[in-house]
Chains A and B, each alone.
Chain A
């Protein structure tokens, strides 16, 4: 599709390990995020299977006490920080610049640093299994269980520092998303035309920026408590365990929206395309994302209804939590209205996106029970909560993520994922998911607390637990099919054209996979569905016009002479800096000798980064 008038840029080496280690291309970085998240998903999934195996029958002895708590903690931490967040960051990295007609992210090297920090931080966290035991105090790490008195090993230290490293990654990638989406949109792509996935990614970036520092501060305080003898969370010396909970949940609840908003964005892209209609109520859906973001910062204490806060405080947080249901409901109704009256194509991305709506509704409704304080006093910290958040984060986020992967796979690889395997995967995942998590609602109501590694027979919990375990294995089988589908399709998948789904947004205007510079000419945008509108004229019945994407992509304004395209140069220094921070953290937990090595790597990396020009070609011209 490249027009002859454009001088194509020098493309850097694209082969070999070194090209991946030094890449600053947002697409390759996106792929690294997704592959990394996939790897950690295998670990987190195995942990889930261990948990379900232990709980299959009463008084089981597969994973007992300490070991269970480690696996439980790592399952939660992994799924939140090493799977859902990075895979969404990865899809965002790959897709958002394409969607908004940018050549790359605003800070390509910072972007590379973010992915390396994620990968190394994740490895660091999992290293704890080999070096004296993984963290074991739950993903929320309530003090004072995490204090040195009660957790003597290094597991908690790995957890603290691992989350700090991952936090650095999230903060840098969020700064990047904000700048990219605010500054690098194609001409004509106003915020009011921004694709929903870009909208939700933007809101999510702000959520990360304002939520993450709170847990980061809390983790520092905990680290000081453990190693400098400070008393922040030590009640004996005037410290306050509830301070931890407030700081944690001020992060922790927005974190939930961090994991669901981009997923909602994906669904808001997939449903319209496969219904061949525009998103119903674009403005309502976009602004409800912003509303969820704002309200998300005022609900944190609904995780703390049972800690003994005054009734008035509980009531405030209860009301705020219920308020979140309004923008959420707006989205759900708009998604259904999007499908309504459409020409629906049952391809795999659509199946997962529609299932997302169906399952997320359940998670949203069960959330209302938890927002109602007196009911929460009964069901908080039970399997009802486990059911609730898996319906939002697995039935919700994970189904949407899978929809997104089926949807963008042809763009990323130039090949389709297999449709028949996709349907099999969908059936297994849908059935397995509901079989695993629906019974947990009942278990919670029947008095089964969460996070217990065993239970006595005779309480009526046996059959439902066994059912959940069977479901978990069906679910796992679904993911085996998924990974097999990916592996097979990478090699032998059906070739995909540039615009395989009759898409709406800019990424479908470039080739599959896109060239390193994304677009030879940056397209000019005139509407919310630039790709669709190039294929179908704007008459009310939207009859198709003859042109195919790409052949007709030179519209008004695009004939202006382009500046030469310069691609940012590859750089190893982001990786070196990330490695420096990781080695430094390792030194804090294991041997002090790593500390100077880490500092050295960090300092050298930073100095070289600061002095290495981003566009050496351009620099030599001027």
Chain B
């Protein structure tokens, strides 16, 4: 199948699916930029209820940052092993990546429940609105990534081969992007609080 997929004949030689994911991610940059800018504009305009400084702690987000960065390494290893022809190892690393993504989501849920317990809800004030929206959209992207990784690692595992590494490479691109977005959120939302 891969060999029939359109590959450039002109100046640009890149698998069309890879280019498609790149282009899509470029578009996603603007989406998250819009959300983050909205957060920056609004988060200090709290009229009542907890502020960013009061509500946010660093423990869970720091662990979560470690988790996602580790997961990116796992994703790199998954691709490397596939290219070496070691499909089993590749799948194992893919599953590791997905598992780390799930850990991130569980910790994020724990963090949310702490916030809710302390009275920070999306509707309590404008910081709450912006905070839940930015981190929520990121978490949704992590969830989509986990599903995508699992479907590649389990659903499409027979198709994985060094010649068809694009299946892993594309989901890898996405996963690294979601990581980078988290790093940006970590800095803007947590470190600059």
Q: Tell me if chains A and B make direct contact, with any CB pair below 8 A.
A: yes
Chain A residues packing against B (C-beta within 8 Å) = 106-107, 110, 171, 174-176, 178-179, 182-187, 189-191, 209-214, 216-218, 220-221, 224-225, 228-232, 234, 237-240, 243, 247, 250, 566, 607, 610-611, 613-615, 618-619, 622
Beyond A213-B27, A218-B34, whether A179 also contacts B3 by CB under 8 A is: no
Beyond A213-B34, A217-B38, A610-B156, whether A232 also contacts B126 by CB under 8 A is: yes
Partner of A213, one of B28, B45, B123, B128: B28
The reply to whether A183 and B27 contact each other, CB–CB distance below 8 Å, is no
Quick check: is B183 within 8 A (CB to CB) of the other chain? no
Closest A residue by C-beta to B38 = A243
The reply to whether B6 and A178 contact each other, CB–CB distance below 8 Å, is no
Chain A residues whose C-beta falls within 8 Å of the C-beta of B38 in the assembled complex: 217, 221, 232, 243, 247
Beyond A229-B123, A230-B129, A238-B47, whether A171 also contacts B27 by CB under 8 A is: yes
The reply to whether B41 and A240 contact each other, CB–CB distance below 8 Å, is yes
Chain A residues whose C-beta falls within 8 Å of the C-beta of B137 in the assembled complex: 220
Beyond A213-B34, A622-B3, whether A238 also contacts B45 by CB under 8 A is: yes
The reply to whether B10 and A187 contact each other, CB–CB distance below 8 Å, is yes
Closest A residue by C-beta to B41 = A243
Beyond A214-B30, A243-B42, whether A183 also contacts B14 by CB under 8 A is: yes
CA–CA, A615 and B4, complex, Å: 8
**What are 26 contact pairs spanning A and B, CB under 8 A?**
A171-B24, A171-B27, A174-B23, A175-B20, A182-B10, A183-B16, A184-B6, A184-B9, A186-B9, A186-B10, A209-B30, A214-B30, A220-B133, A221-B133, A228-B122, A231-B126, A232-B38, A237-B125, A238-B47, A238-B125, A239-B42, A240-B42, A240-B45, A607-B151, A613-B1, A622-B1
CA–CA, A186 and B11, complex, Å: 11
Chain B residues whose C-beta falls within 8 Å of the C-beta of A247 in the assembled complex: 34, 38
Beyond A237-B126, A238-B47, A618-B4, whether A182 also contacts B12 by CB under 8 A is: yes
The reply to whether A179 and B1 contact each other, CB–CB distance below 8 Å, is no
Closest A residue by C-beta to B19 = A179
Within 8 A of A (CB), among B97-122: 122
Chain B residues whose C-beta falls within 8 Å of the C-beta of A185 in the assembled complex: 9-10
Chain B residues packing against A (C-beta within 8 Å) = 1, 3-12, 14, 16-17, 19-20, 23-24, 26-31, 34-35, 38, 41-42, 45-47, 122-123, 125-126, 128-130, 132-133, 137, 151, 155-156
Chain A residues whose C-beta falls within 8 Å of the C-beta of B122 in the assembled complex: 224, 228-230
Distance of A555 from chain B, by nearest CB (Å): 16
Chain A residues whose C-beta falls within 8 Å of the C-beta of B16 in the assembled complex: 106-107, 179, 183-184
Beyond A183-B7, A230-B133, A243-B41, whether A614 also contacts B1 by CB under 8 A is: yes
Chain A residues whose C-beta falls within 8 Å of the C-beta of B7 in the assembled complex: 183
Distance of B132 from chain A, by nearest CB (Å): 8
Closest B residue by C-beta to A182 = B12
Chain B residues whose C-beta falls within 8 Å of the C-beta of A171 in the assembled complex: 24, 27
Distance of A432 from chain B, by nearest CB (Å): 39
CA–CA, A285 and B18, complex, Å: 30
Beyond A182-B12, A247-B34, whether A209 also contacts B130 by CB under 8 A is: no
Partner of B130, one of A107, A175, A182, A232: A232
Q: How many A-B residue pairs have CB under 8 A?
A: 146
> Interface majority SS on A: helix, strand, loop or mixed?
helix
> Interface majority SS on B: helix, strand, loop or mixed?
helix
> Which of A176, A182, A190, A237 is packed against the most chain B CB atoms within 10 Å?
A237
The reply to whether A179 and B9 contact each other, CB–CB distance below 8 Å, is no
The reply to whether B47 and A214 contact each other, CB–CB distance below 8 Å, is no
Chain A residues whose C-beta falls within 8 Å of the C-beta of B1 in the assembled complex: 613-615, 618-619, 622
Chain B residues whose C-beta falls within 8 Å of the C-beta of A225 in the assembled complex: 129
Beyond A107-B20, A610-B155, whether A217 also contacts B34 by CB under 8 A is: yes
Chain B residues whose C-beta falls within 8 Å of the C-beta of A224 in the assembled complex: 122, 129, 133
Beyond A106-B16, A217-B31, whether A239 also contacts B123 by CB under 8 A is: no
CA–CA, A230 and B6, complex, Å: 45
Distance of B178 from chain A, by nearest CB (Å): 15
CA–CA, A163 and B24, complex, Å: 18
CA–CA, A217 and B134, complex, Å: 10
Chain B residues whose C-beta falls within 8 Å of the C-beta of A221 in the assembled complex: 38, 133
Chain B residues whose C-beta falls within 8 Å of the C-beta of A214 in the assembled complex: 30-31, 34
Question: 7 new A-B pairs (CB below 8 Å) besides A232-B38, A614-B5?
Answer: A174-B23, A183-B8, A211-B30, A218-B34, A220-B133, A239-B126, A611-B156
Chain A residues whose C-beta falls within 8 Å of the C-beta of B9 in the assembled complex: 183-187
Chain B residues whose C-beta falls within 8 Å of the C-beta of A211 in the assembled complex: 30
Beyond A229-B123, A243-B38, whether A179 also contacts B47 by CB under 8 A is: no
Partner of B129, one of A106, A178, A231, A611: A231
Chain A residues whose C-beta falls within 8 Å of the C-beta of B46 in the assembled complex: 238
Beyond A213-B30, A247-B38, A618-B1, whether A611 also contacts B155 by CB under 8 A is: yes
Distance of B17 from chain A, by nearest CB (Å): 8
CA–CA, A190 and B123, complex, Å: 54
Distance of B126 from chain A, by nearest CB (Å): 4
Beyond A214-B34, A218-B34, whether A178 also contacts B12 by CB under 8 A is: no
> Which of A210, A213, A221, A229 is packed against the most chain B CB atoms within 10 Å?
A213
Distance of B108 from chain A, by nearest CB (Å): 18
CA–CA, A211 and B34, complex, Å: 10
Closest B residue by C-beta to A209 = B27
Chain A residues whose C-beta falls within 8 Å of the C-beta of B27 in the assembled complex: 171, 174-175, 209-210, 212-213
CA–CA, A239 and B151, complex, Å: 40
Chain A residues whose C-beta falls within 8 Å of the C-beta of B24 in the assembled complex: 171, 175
Chain B residues whose C-beta falls within 8 Å of the C-beta of A613 in the assembled complex: 1
Partner of A175, one of B23, B128, B155: B23
Closest B residue by C-beta to A108 = B6
CA–CA, A87 and B30, complex, Å: 26
CA–CA, A182 and B6, complex, Å: 11
The reply to whether A237 and B47 contact each other, CB–CB distance below 8 Å, is yes
Closest A residue by C-beta to B21 = A175
Closest A residue by C-beta to B30 = A213
CA–CA, A611 and B132, complex, Å: 35
> Which of B28, B123, B137 is packed against the most chain A CB atoms within 10 Å?
B123
Chain A residues whose C-beta falls within 8 Å of the C-beta of B151 in the assembled complex: 607, 610
Chain B residues whose C-beta falls within 8 Å of the C-beta of A189 in the assembled complex: 10
The reply to whether B20 and A191 contact each other, CB–CB distance below 8 Å, is no
Chain B residues whose C-beta falls within 8 Å of the C-beta of A216 in the assembled complex: 31
CA–CA, A220 and B35, complex, Å: 10
The reply to whether A106 and B20 contact each other, CB–CB distance below 8 Å, is yes
CA–CA, A360 and B163, complex, Å: 51
The reply to whether B23 and A238 contact each other, CB–CB distance below 8 Å, is no
The reply to whether B129 and A213 contact each other, CB–CB distance below 8 Å, is no
Distance of B122 from chain A, by nearest CB (Å): 5
CA–CA, A110 and B155, complex, Å: 20
The reply to whether B129 and A232 contact each other, CB–CB distance below 8 Å, is yes
> Which of A221, A229, A231, A611 is packed against the most chain B CB atoms within 10 Å?
A231
